[in-house]
Structure 1
Amino acid sequence: MAKQDLARFLRDRRESLRPEDLGLPPGRRRRTPGLRREEVAELAGMSADYYTRLEQARGPRPSAAVLDALTGALRLDLVERTHLFQLAGTPHTPPPGPVRRVRPYVAGLLERLPDTAAFVTDARYDVIAWNPLADALLGDHLRAEPNLARRRFLGEQPFYAEGASWEEFGGVVVSRLRRAAERHPGDRALGGLLAELRAGSEEFVALWAANPVHAPGHRTKTLRHRELGPLKVNCDVLVVPDDDHQVVFMTADAGSPAARALRHLRPVDGP
């Protein structure tokens, strides 16, 4: 029965996906919905015959490595990944590392907010996507050093003016990185980042020992812009819990100098 349940789960998930969601060409007219088995197998790095046998409940019990490959190919979130391991009867292992892929609906949300500077951070506090206004506002900073934890603790040029909000942000960063370390204990990139921060910042070591608890929410911060000077902005966070992503929205009060500055920075659409 377990094999049939796994086969049904794989088949239903495959048929629910569209090729364009995964960067695949739509191709010729399809006789069945969703992806072809061969496409899933290619995305997962396995033979089409092996994947077909899994969907037909004829394959051997898949290993954790195979299930992680299927997790990526089928775009499963953390809850779905856990369910996949349970169906396969394979001991559950921690996810291999923080998710860096931005879901299409989140990417689309960024593009639909022309008057808001918005960016996405992953569990390591890397900025992994941003919209045109955020690029105009922060792009030079983000390209030079996209990791906000390094910016906060290792002397990188901050784009927030120092002050109470800057101090609070240190606790926010540590709180989130502690959760990331618990969820991804085997992630080498995260482990390397934490080692850098411990070696380079006594403040980080002290905050880590204090184990601060901070939830994302509304905050007011002052940004530094090399041409427009200090800009007071509102920061609000949307959490994408399945991927441990956070979307940061930066807006300005109507009629404020910062609002005028954001209008000035807003990229002009084509001619």
Structure 2
Amino acid sequence: MSPLKPTNGVKRSASASSTASLSGKTGEQTTKRPKRDGIHSLTPTPAAAAAAAASQDFGFHMSTHVTYAVDYLKAKRTPKTLQEILDHLTLQHLAEKSQMGFMLYLKQQSRILFKPAPKSKDQKLPAWRTGTYEFRAKLPGVNSKETLLEYLQKKPDASCTPIKDIKDGWPEFEPAVDQLEREHRILVQRTKKDNQPKNVWLDDPSLHHVVDPQFQGMWFHEKLPSTDDMPRLLNQLGQKATSVPTNNANRNLKAPPKKKKARASNKRLENEHMRGIMEMFEKR
């Protein structure tokens, strides 16, 4: 490699100049920090980045966490504190602001019942962390045979009570419903496919009467005439079928056609001197 031209009377080799340039560049990189829009960019620490990502992820999946909280309270069926819910969902390490937002979101849910804690002077926790949360069933308080009968007796109408509403707050309802049905205290509608209870009504045991099995066999053994023969057989017995009209003479009479009302003319005349001509054309 040929030497460089002398500068100020001093000869410099290519290797020396390249070393100096590299050292100069290295010095610039070590002393200067990259700028972005005139402001030094600071790389966040791993802990701060993880906390920001967790906070963003929690806000994005807020509804999912609340759904899990409802399922947790439904499975436990006992009041739980906010800290117990956070521990179950592994959200206890969230920032206090995120935990407070989760608390407010829980209180807004229709399936969750919040009970505030009684005020105390020795209370160590902040007010928003106190109180208990409980699952609110579709039929609150219906979780035994006695409470089910009490609910059915207080119903203002004779509509059915769906089994799915009973099961919502009382998963172990089947043995009690079967026993109440055998005691004729409730009426149960069951599915034809698998004989599962579907709807229930209130029943009265005093209205139940045992029918002789021999009479039941005779009743179901007797065949009824067809629908076409029923009016003729009733006529032979001097009775009239409800399907026969009361007056055969009026059966083929048609109702008189309704007269159509003449529509009022809502024409708007721009020129009054044309009114007579327009009335003449309307009479035609």
- For Structure 1 versus Structure 2, the TM-score category normalised by the shorter chain is under 0.3
Q: Which has the higher contact order (CA 8 A, sep 6+)?
A: 1
User: TM-score w.r.t. structure 1 length?
Assistant: 0.23
Point out the structure with max Rg over C-alpha: 2
